[in-house]
Amino acid sequence: MNPTHRFQCLKSYQASYWFCVVVCALLIGLGAYCALTMEHAGHIVSGMNNHVVWGLPHVFAVSLIVSASGALNGATLASVFGNPHYKPIARLSVALAMCLLIGGLLVLVLDLGRPDRLIVAMTTYNFRSIFAWNIFLYTGFLIIGVGYLWMMMEKRFHRHVLTAGRIALFWRIVLTSGTGCIFGFLVGRNALDSALLAPMFIALSLVMGTAALSLVLVVLAKWQPAVLTTALIQSLNRVLIWFLLALLYFSVVHHLTNLYVSEHHDIERHLLSGEHAALFWVGHILLGVIAPIVIIVSRKPEFALITRMVVSSACALLGSAALLYVIIIGSQSSPQVLFPGKTVVQSSFGDGGFTSYQPSLWEWGLGIGGVFLALLLCLVVLRVLPLLPESTHGSGLRVNGVQSALEPSDSTDHSAASVAVSGS
Protein backbone atom coordinates (compact mmCIF):
# COMPACT_ATOMS: atom_id res chain seq x y z
CA MET A 1 0.00 0.00 0.00
CA ASN A 2 1.08 3.55 -0.65
CA PRO A 3 2.53 4.89 2.63
CA THR A 4 1.34 8.43 1.75
CA HIS A 5 -2.24 7.45 2.48
CA ARG A 6 -3.27 8.13 6.08
CA PHE A 7 -6.24 6.37 7.65
CA GLN A 8 -8.50 7.01 10.59
CA CYS A 9 -11.56 5.62 12.33
CA LEU A 10 -15.06 6.81 11.54
CA LYS A 11 -15.56 9.74 13.90
CA SER A 12 -19.00 10.93 12.95
CA TYR A 13 -21.29 12.13 15.73
CA GLN A 14 -24.03 13.34 13.42
CA ALA A 15 -27.63 12.40 14.09
CA SER A 16 -27.80 10.55 10.76
CA TYR A 17 -25.09 8.11 11.91
CA TRP A 18 -26.88 7.22 15.13
CA PHE A 19 -30.16 7.01 13.23
CA CYS A 20 -28.59 4.38 10.94
CA VAL A 21 -27.29 2.46 13.96
CA VAL A 22 -30.72 2.47 15.65
CA VAL A 23 -32.51 1.38 12.45
CA CYS A 24 -30.02 -1.46 11.94
CA ALA A 25 -30.44 -2.59 15.56
CA LEU A 26 -34.24 -2.57 15.32
CA LEU A 27 -34.27 -4.57 12.08
CA ILE A 28 -31.75 -7.05 13.49
CA GLY A 29 -34.07 -7.52 16.47
CA LEU A 30 -36.96 -8.09 14.07
CA GLY A 31 -34.91 -10.67 12.20
CA ALA A 32 -34.01 -12.45 15.45
CA TYR A 33 -37.68 -12.58 16.44
CA CYS A 34 -38.64 -14.03 13.04
CA ALA A 35 -35.89 -16.64 13.30
CA LEU A 36 -37.00 -17.58 16.82
CA THR A 37 -40.61 -17.88 15.66
CA MET A 38 -39.71 -20.26 12.82
CA GLU A 39 -37.41 -22.21 15.16
CA HIS A 40 -40.23 -22.86 17.64
CA ALA A 41 -43.23 -23.14 15.31
CA GLY A 42 -41.38 -24.91 12.51
CA HIS A 43 -41.21 -24.04 8.85
CA ILE A 44 -44.94 -24.60 8.59
CA VAL A 45 -45.34 -20.87 9.36
CA SER A 46 -43.19 -20.01 6.34
CA GLY A 47 -44.15 -20.28 2.69
CA MET A 48 -41.84 -23.27 2.16
CA ASN A 49 -43.14 -26.80 1.55
CA ASN A 50 -41.94 -30.23 0.46
CA HIS A 51 -41.09 -28.88 -3.00
CA VAL A 52 -39.65 -25.46 -2.20
CA VAL A 53 -37.29 -26.23 0.67
CA TRP A 54 -34.97 -23.26 0.04
CA GLY A 55 -37.06 -20.15 0.39
CA LEU A 56 -36.59 -16.39 0.39
CA PRO A 57 -34.00 -16.39 3.23
CA HIS A 58 -31.76 -18.45 0.96
CA VAL A 59 -32.05 -15.72 -1.67
CA PHE A 60 -30.94 -13.16 0.92
CA ALA A 61 -28.15 -15.40 2.19
CA VAL A 62 -26.73 -16.21 -1.26
CA SER A 63 -27.02 -12.52 -2.24
CA LEU A 64 -24.95 -11.51 0.78
CA ILE A 65 -22.38 -14.25 0.20
CA VAL A 66 -21.78 -13.43 -3.48
CA SER A 67 -21.80 -9.71 -2.63
CA ALA A 68 -19.06 -10.39 -0.07
CA SER A 69 -16.87 -11.92 -2.75
CA GLY A 70 -17.49 -9.00 -5.10
CA ALA A 71 -16.99 -6.35 -2.41
CA LEU A 72 -13.29 -7.25 -2.48
CA ASN A 73 -13.10 -5.55 -5.88
CA GLY A 74 -11.85 -2.35 -4.25
CA ALA A 75 -8.93 -4.04 -2.50
CA THR A 76 -8.11 -6.23 -5.50
CA LEU A 77 -8.04 -3.33 -7.94
CA ALA A 78 -5.80 -1.41 -5.55
CA SER A 79 -3.21 -4.00 -4.55
CA VAL A 80 -3.22 -6.54 -7.38
CA PHE A 81 -3.95 -4.31 -10.38
CA GLY A 82 -2.35 -1.14 -8.98
CA ASN A 83 -5.26 1.25 -9.55
CA PRO A 84 -4.48 4.32 -7.39
CA HIS A 85 -8.11 5.45 -7.14
CA TYR A 86 -9.01 2.39 -5.01
CA LYS A 87 -6.09 2.47 -2.57
CA PRO A 88 -7.83 4.79 -0.06
CA ILE A 89 -10.83 2.42 0.17
CA ALA A 90 -8.93 -0.90 0.06
CA ARG A 91 -9.22 -1.45 3.82
CA LEU A 92 -12.93 -0.63 3.77
CA SER A 93 -13.41 -3.08 0.89
CA VAL A 94 -11.97 -5.99 2.88
CA ALA A 95 -13.90 -5.14 6.05
CA LEU A 96 -17.18 -4.81 4.14
CA ALA A 97 -16.60 -8.15 2.41
CA MET A 98 -16.16 -9.98 5.71
CA CYS A 99 -19.21 -8.31 7.27
CA LEU A 100 -21.40 -9.25 4.30
CA LEU A 101 -20.24 -12.86 4.48
CA ILE A 102 -20.99 -13.10 8.20
CA GLY A 103 -24.48 -11.69 7.64
CA GLY A 104 -25.18 -14.14 4.82
CA LEU A 105 -23.91 -17.16 6.75
CA LEU A 106 -26.02 -16.25 9.79
CA VAL A 107 -29.18 -16.10 7.67
CA LEU A 108 -28.23 -19.42 6.09
CA VAL A 109 -27.72 -21.14 9.44
CA LEU A 110 -30.96 -19.81 10.94
CA ASP A 111 -33.00 -20.66 7.83
CA LEU A 112 -31.83 -24.28 7.59
CA GLY A 113 -33.13 -25.04 11.09
CA ARG A 114 -31.40 -26.60 14.10
CA PRO A 115 -28.64 -23.96 14.43
CA ASP A 116 -27.56 -25.83 17.58
CA ARG A 117 -26.17 -28.57 15.32
CA LEU A 118 -23.83 -26.17 13.51
CA ILE A 119 -20.86 -27.57 15.44
CA VAL A 120 -21.68 -31.03 14.03
CA ALA A 121 -21.60 -29.68 10.49
CA MET A 122 -18.25 -28.03 11.17
CA THR A 123 -16.62 -31.16 12.62
CA THR A 124 -18.18 -33.98 10.58
CA TYR A 125 -17.53 -33.82 6.85
CA ASN A 126 -18.78 -35.68 3.82
CA PHE A 127 -16.31 -34.65 1.16
CA ARG A 128 -18.58 -35.98 -1.56
CA SER A 129 -20.90 -33.09 -0.72
CA ILE A 130 -20.35 -29.59 -2.09
CA PHE A 131 -21.77 -28.23 1.17
CA ALA A 132 -18.78 -29.63 3.10
CA TRP A 133 -16.41 -27.94 0.66
CA ASN A 134 -18.10 -24.59 1.18
CA ILE A 135 -17.53 -24.68 4.94
CA PHE A 136 -13.80 -24.56 4.24
CA LEU A 137 -14.26 -21.91 1.55
CA TYR A 138 -16.24 -19.58 3.83
CA THR A 139 -13.97 -19.92 6.86
CA GLY A 140 -10.92 -19.61 4.59
CA PHE A 141 -12.33 -16.39 3.15
CA LEU A 142 -12.61 -14.87 6.63
CA ILE A 143 -9.10 -15.98 7.62
CA ILE A 144 -7.59 -14.63 4.40
CA GLY A 145 -9.56 -11.40 4.83
CA VAL A 146 -8.17 -10.87 8.34
CA GLY A 147 -4.64 -11.53 7.12
CA TYR A 148 -5.12 -9.26 4.09
CA LEU A 149 -6.35 -6.44 6.31
CA TRP A 150 -3.48 -6.96 8.73
CA MET A 151 -0.94 -6.68 5.91
CA MET A 152 -2.51 -3.37 4.88
CA MET A 153 -2.58 -1.90 8.37
CA GLU A 154 0.87 -2.98 9.56
CA LYS A 155 3.69 -1.01 7.90
CA ARG A 156 6.17 -3.83 8.41
CA PHE A 157 4.10 -6.09 6.14
CA HIS A 158 3.27 -3.66 3.34
CA ARG A 159 5.61 -5.55 1.06
CA HIS A 160 3.36 -8.62 1.39
CA VAL A 161 0.12 -6.85 0.43
CA LEU A 162 0.45 -7.84 -3.23
CA THR A 163 0.86 -11.51 -2.32
CA ALA A 164 -2.08 -11.38 0.09
CA GLY A 165 -4.18 -9.66 -2.59
CA ARG A 166 -3.42 -12.39 -5.12
CA ILE A 167 -4.34 -15.11 -2.62
CA ALA A 168 -7.60 -13.28 -1.81
CA LEU A 169 -8.40 -12.89 -5.52
CA PHE A 170 -7.87 -16.61 -6.13
CA TRP A 171 -9.88 -17.62 -3.07
CA ARG A 172 -12.85 -15.39 -3.85
CA ILE A 173 -13.09 -16.89 -7.35
CA VAL A 174 -13.01 -20.41 -5.89
CA LEU A 175 -15.55 -19.46 -3.21
CA THR A 176 -18.02 -17.98 -5.68
CA SER A 177 -17.57 -20.95 -8.01
CA GLY A 178 -18.32 -23.24 -5.08
CA THR A 179 -21.49 -21.31 -4.28
CA GLY A 180 -22.59 -21.63 -7.91
CA CYS A 181 -21.74 -25.33 -7.90
CA ILE A 182 -24.09 -25.89 -4.95
CA PHE A 183 -26.86 -25.40 -7.49
CA GLY A 184 -25.04 -26.52 -10.62
CA PHE A 185 -24.28 -29.97 -9.16
CA LEU A 186 -27.96 -30.71 -8.41
CA VAL A 187 -28.58 -33.14 -11.25
CA GLY A 188 -32.06 -33.89 -9.92
CA ARG A 189 -33.20 -30.37 -10.88
CA ASN A 190 -33.23 -29.85 -14.63
CA ALA A 191 -33.39 -26.08 -14.19
CA LEU A 192 -30.05 -26.11 -12.34
CA ASP A 193 -27.94 -29.02 -13.59
CA SER A 194 -25.39 -26.87 -15.46
CA ALA A 195 -21.70 -26.02 -15.06
CA LEU A 196 -22.47 -22.54 -16.43
CA LEU A 197 -23.85 -21.56 -13.03
CA ALA A 198 -20.29 -21.30 -11.64
CA PRO A 199 -19.13 -18.48 -14.00
CA MET A 200 -22.57 -16.89 -13.79
CA PHE A 201 -22.23 -16.64 -10.02
CA ILE A 202 -18.78 -15.09 -10.45
CA ALA A 203 -20.33 -12.42 -12.69
CA LEU A 204 -23.15 -11.99 -10.15
CA SER A 205 -20.62 -11.44 -7.37
CA LEU A 206 -18.77 -8.80 -9.37
CA VAL A 207 -22.01 -6.91 -10.06
CA MET A 208 -23.50 -7.17 -6.58
CA GLY A 209 -20.22 -6.52 -4.77
CA THR A 210 -19.41 -3.44 -6.83
CA ALA A 211 -22.95 -2.10 -6.38
CA ALA A 212 -22.91 -2.73 -2.62
CA LEU A 213 -19.50 -1.09 -2.24
CA SER A 214 -20.69 1.94 -4.23
CA LEU A 215 -23.78 2.44 -2.07
CA VAL A 216 -21.79 2.06 1.17
CA LEU A 217 -19.29 4.64 -0.07
CA VAL A 218 -22.09 7.13 -0.76
CA VAL A 219 -23.47 6.66 2.77
CA LEU A 220 -20.02 6.99 4.35
CA ALA A 221 -19.30 10.12 2.32
CA LYS A 222 -21.93 11.91 4.40
CA TRP A 223 -19.67 11.47 7.44
CA GLN A 224 -16.21 11.04 5.87
CA PRO A 225 -16.01 13.04 2.61
CA ALA A 226 -12.55 11.74 1.64
CA VAL A 227 -13.82 8.23 0.88
CA LEU A 228 -15.45 9.35 -2.36
CA THR A 229 -13.75 11.15 -5.25
CA THR A 230 -14.96 11.97 -8.73
CA ALA A 231 -12.33 9.70 -10.28
CA LEU A 232 -13.44 6.83 -8.04
CA ILE A 233 -17.10 7.33 -8.98
CA GLN A 234 -16.23 7.30 -12.68
CA SER A 235 -14.16 4.14 -12.28
CA LEU A 236 -16.87 2.33 -10.32
CA ASN A 237 -19.44 3.23 -12.97
CA ARG A 238 -17.20 1.97 -15.76
CA VAL A 239 -16.40 -1.39 -14.15
CA LEU A 240 -20.07 -1.90 -13.24
CA ILE A 241 -21.00 -1.65 -16.93
CA TRP A 242 -18.50 -4.36 -17.88
CA PHE A 243 -19.60 -6.61 -15.04
CA LEU A 244 -23.25 -6.20 -16.07
CA LEU A 245 -22.41 -7.14 -19.64
CA ALA A 246 -20.56 -10.24 -18.39
CA LEU A 247 -23.57 -11.24 -16.27
CA LEU A 248 -25.92 -10.76 -19.22
CA TYR A 249 -23.66 -12.89 -21.42
CA PHE A 250 -23.58 -15.86 -19.03
CA SER A 251 -27.31 -15.58 -18.35
CA VAL A 252 -28.12 -15.65 -22.07
CA VAL A 253 -25.73 -18.55 -22.75
CA HIS A 254 -27.18 -20.52 -19.83
CA HIS A 255 -30.74 -20.26 -21.12
CA LEU A 256 -29.76 -20.83 -24.75
CA THR A 257 -28.01 -24.03 -23.66
CA ASN A 258 -31.15 -25.23 -21.88
CA LEU A 259 -33.31 -24.34 -24.88
CA TYR A 260 -31.00 -26.37 -27.12
CA VAL A 261 -31.52 -29.51 -24.99
CA SER A 262 -34.97 -31.01 -25.56
CA GLU A 263 -35.41 -32.34 -22.03
CA HIS A 264 -35.10 -28.79 -20.64
CA HIS A 265 -37.75 -27.20 -22.84
CA ASP A 266 -40.52 -27.48 -20.24
CA ILE A 267 -38.27 -25.97 -17.58
CA GLU A 268 -37.31 -23.04 -19.79
CA ARG A 269 -40.92 -22.45 -20.75
CA HIS A 270 -41.80 -22.27 -17.08
CA LEU A 271 -38.93 -19.90 -16.21
CA LEU A 272 -39.18 -17.60 -19.23
CA SER A 273 -42.94 -17.44 -19.76
CA GLY A 274 -44.49 -18.80 -16.59
CA GLU A 275 -44.90 -17.71 -13.00
CA HIS A 276 -41.42 -16.15 -12.68
CA ALA A 277 -41.20 -14.62 -16.15
CA ALA A 278 -41.85 -11.09 -14.90
CA LEU A 279 -39.00 -11.36 -12.38
CA PHE A 280 -36.63 -12.58 -15.07
CA TRP A 281 -37.51 -10.16 -17.88
CA VAL A 282 -38.48 -7.06 -15.89
CA GLY A 283 -36.40 -7.63 -12.76
CA HIS A 284 -33.20 -9.13 -14.13
CA ILE A 285 -32.99 -8.01 -17.77
CA LEU A 286 -34.73 -4.61 -17.73
CA LEU A 287 -34.16 -3.31 -14.19
CA GLY A 288 -30.96 -5.20 -13.41
CA VAL A 289 -28.98 -4.85 -16.64
CA ILE A 290 -30.43 -2.46 -19.21
CA ALA A 291 -31.52 0.30 -16.81
CA PRO A 292 -28.15 0.62 -14.96
CA ILE A 293 -26.19 0.74 -18.23
CA VAL A 294 -28.51 3.37 -19.71
CA ILE A 295 -28.33 5.44 -16.51
CA ILE A 296 -24.53 5.33 -16.34
CA VAL A 297 -23.95 6.27 -19.97
CA SER A 298 -26.56 9.03 -19.81
CA ARG A 299 -25.03 12.48 -20.35
CA LYS A 300 -28.06 14.53 -19.37
CA PRO A 301 -26.94 17.47 -17.20
CA GLU A 302 -29.80 16.99 -14.73
CA PHE A 303 -28.31 13.64 -13.68
CA ALA A 304 -25.23 14.22 -11.53
CA LEU A 305 -22.40 11.72 -11.58
CA ILE A 306 -23.05 10.54 -8.04
CA THR A 307 -26.79 10.26 -8.76
CA ARG A 308 -26.12 7.94 -11.66
CA MET A 309 -23.93 5.76 -9.44
CA VAL A 310 -26.54 5.51 -6.67
CA VAL A 311 -29.47 4.71 -8.95
CA SER A 312 -27.56 2.31 -11.20
CA SER A 313 -26.09 0.45 -8.23
CA ALA A 314 -29.49 0.09 -6.57
CA CYS A 315 -31.00 -1.20 -9.83
CA ALA A 316 -28.13 -3.66 -10.32
CA LEU A 317 -28.56 -5.02 -6.79
CA LEU A 318 -32.33 -5.48 -7.16
CA GLY A 319 -31.98 -7.03 -10.61
CA SER A 320 -29.32 -9.48 -9.45
CA ALA A 321 -31.47 -10.47 -6.46
CA ALA A 322 -34.35 -11.09 -8.88
CA LEU A 323 -32.12 -13.39 -10.93
CA LEU A 324 -31.13 -15.32 -7.80
CA TYR A 325 -34.81 -15.66 -6.89
CA VAL A 326 -35.53 -17.15 -10.30
CA ILE A 327 -32.55 -19.51 -10.02
CA ILE A 328 -33.27 -20.70 -6.47
CA ILE A 329 -37.06 -20.56 -6.19
CA GLY A 330 -37.90 -21.07 -9.87
CA SER A 331 -35.84 -24.25 -10.09
CA GLN A 332 -37.73 -25.77 -7.14
CA SER A 333 -41.15 -24.65 -8.43
CA SER A 334 -40.65 -26.42 -11.75
CA PRO A 335 -41.59 -30.10 -12.30
CA GLN A 336 -38.99 -32.58 -11.09
CA VAL A 337 -38.21 -35.50 -13.39
CA LEU A 338 -38.10 -38.47 -11.01
CA PHE A 339 -37.83 -41.17 -13.67
CA PRO A 340 -35.98 -39.94 -16.78
CA GLY A 341 -37.23 -41.51 -19.97
CA LYS A 342 -40.41 -42.81 -18.30
CA THR A 343 -43.97 -41.50 -18.32
CA VAL A 344 -45.50 -41.03 -14.88
CA VAL A 345 -49.17 -41.95 -15.15
CA GLN A 346 -50.17 -41.00 -11.61
CA SER A 347 -48.35 -39.51 -8.64
CA SER A 348 -49.33 -37.92 -5.35
CA PHE A 349 -45.97 -36.16 -5.01
CA GLY A 350 -46.91 -33.44 -7.47
CA ASP A 351 -43.96 -33.96 -9.77
CA GLY A 352 -46.22 -33.47 -12.76
CA GLY A 353 -47.28 -29.94 -11.82
CA PHE A 354 -45.97 -26.67 -10.51
CA THR A 355 -45.82 -25.67 -6.87
CA SER A 356 -46.62 -22.08 -5.97
CA TYR A 357 -44.53 -20.39 -3.30
CA GLN A 358 -45.39 -17.24 -1.40
CA PRO A 359 -42.76 -16.08 1.11
CA SER A 360 -44.12 -15.25 4.54
CA LEU A 361 -43.40 -12.18 6.64
CA TRP A 362 -41.17 -14.33 8.86
CA GLU A 363 -38.91 -15.09 5.91
CA TRP A 364 -38.76 -11.43 4.87
CA GLY A 365 -37.88 -10.44 8.43
CA LEU A 366 -35.08 -13.01 8.72
CA GLY A 367 -33.53 -12.00 5.40
CA ILE A 368 -33.70 -8.25 6.06
CA GLY A 369 -32.26 -8.79 9.53
CA GLY A 370 -29.20 -10.47 7.99
CA VAL A 371 -28.64 -7.55 5.62
CA PHE A 372 -28.73 -4.97 8.39
CA LEU A 373 -26.59 -7.13 10.65
CA ALA A 374 -23.85 -6.94 8.01
CA LEU A 375 -24.28 -3.16 7.80
CA LEU A 376 -24.20 -2.69 11.58
CA LEU A 377 -21.07 -4.85 11.84
CA CYS A 378 -19.43 -2.66 9.22
CA LEU A 379 -20.38 0.55 11.05
CA VAL A 380 -18.99 -0.80 14.32
CA VAL A 381 -15.74 -2.01 12.75
CA LEU A 382 -15.24 1.39 11.11
CA ARG A 383 -15.57 3.07 14.51
CA VAL A 384 -12.91 0.81 16.02
CA LEU A 385 -10.29 0.36 13.29
CA PRO A 386 -8.62 3.04 11.12
CA LEU A 387 -10.00 1.90 7.77
CA LEU A 388 -11.10 5.19 6.19
CA PRO A 389 -8.86 7.78 4.49
CA GLU A 390 -8.28 11.00 6.37
CA SER A 391 -10.13 14.04 5.10
CA THR A 392 -8.08 16.70 3.34
CA HIS A 393 -8.94 20.33 3.93
CA GLY A 394 -9.24 22.89 1.22
CA SER A 395 -10.30 21.39 -2.08
CA GLY A 396 -13.46 19.44 -2.49
CA LEU A 397 -16.48 19.30 -4.70
CA ARG A 398 -19.55 19.50 -2.49
CA VAL A 399 -22.69 17.77 -3.62
CA ASN A 400 -25.91 18.70 -1.87
CA GLY A 401 -27.63 15.39 -1.19
CA VAL A 402 -27.09 12.98 -4.07
CA GLN A 403 -27.94 15.30 -6.97
CA SER A 404 -26.52 18.67 -7.87
CA ALA A 405 -26.46 20.92 -10.90
CA LEU A 406 -22.92 21.88 -9.88
CA GLU A 407 -21.59 18.41 -10.79
CA PRO A 408 -18.85 18.83 -13.43
CA SER A 409 -18.87 16.95 -16.70
CA ASP A 410 -17.23 13.51 -16.82
CA SER A 411 -14.49 14.81 -19.09
CA THR A 412 -13.16 17.18 -16.43
CA ASP A 413 -10.21 15.88 -14.40
CA HIS A 414 -11.08 15.93 -10.72
CA SER A 415 -9.13 12.87 -9.63
CA ALA A 416 -7.87 14.62 -6.50
CA ALA A 417 -11.12 16.28 -5.52
CA SER A 418 -13.28 14.81 -2.81
CA VAL A 419 -17.03 14.54 -3.16
CA ALA A 420 -18.57 15.56 0.14
CA VAL A 421 -22.18 14.55 0.52
CA SER A 422 -23.84 16.89 2.97
CA GLY A 423 -25.23 15.24 6.08
CA SER A 424 -28.75 15.48 7.28
At residue 354, the pLDDT reads 60
- The pLDDT of residue 326 is 93
Give the CATH number, domain containing residue 208: 1.20.1630.10
Residue 345 lies in a domain: no
pLDDT of residue 301: 63
Secondary structure of residue 260 in the 3-state scheme: helix
- Domain interval for residue 232: 8-335+356-412
pTM (predicted TM-score): 0.88
Whether the CB-CB separation of 255 and 268 falls below 8 Å is answered with: yes
Number of compact structural domains in the chain: 1
Are 86 and 356 in contact by the 8 Å Cβ rule? The answer is: no
Per-10-residue mean pLDDT of the chain, 424 residues long, equals 72 88 97 93 87 91 96 94 93 97 94 76 76 88 96 90 95 94 81 88 96 96 89 94 96 90 80 87 95 88 81 96 93 75 69 73 96 96 93 45 38 40 37
pLDDT of residue 78: 94
391 occurs within a structural domain: yes
Domain membership flag for residue 42: yes
**Strand residues in 6-53 grouped as ranges (E):** 7-8
151 within domain boundaries = yes
Residue type, 128: R
Q: Note whether residue 348 is domain-resident.
A: no
* The pLDDT value given to residue 167: 96
Residue 342 lies in a domain: no
Closest by alpha carbon to 191, among 251, 253, 265, 247? 265
Using CB atoms within 10 Å of the CB of residue 288, give its burial: 0 to 12 exposed, 13 to 18 middle, 19+ buried. buried
Domain membership flag for residue 258: yes
Structural domain contains residue 346: no
Burial pattern 173-195, b for ≥16 Cβ within 10 A else e, equals ebbbbbbbbbbbbbeebbbbbbe
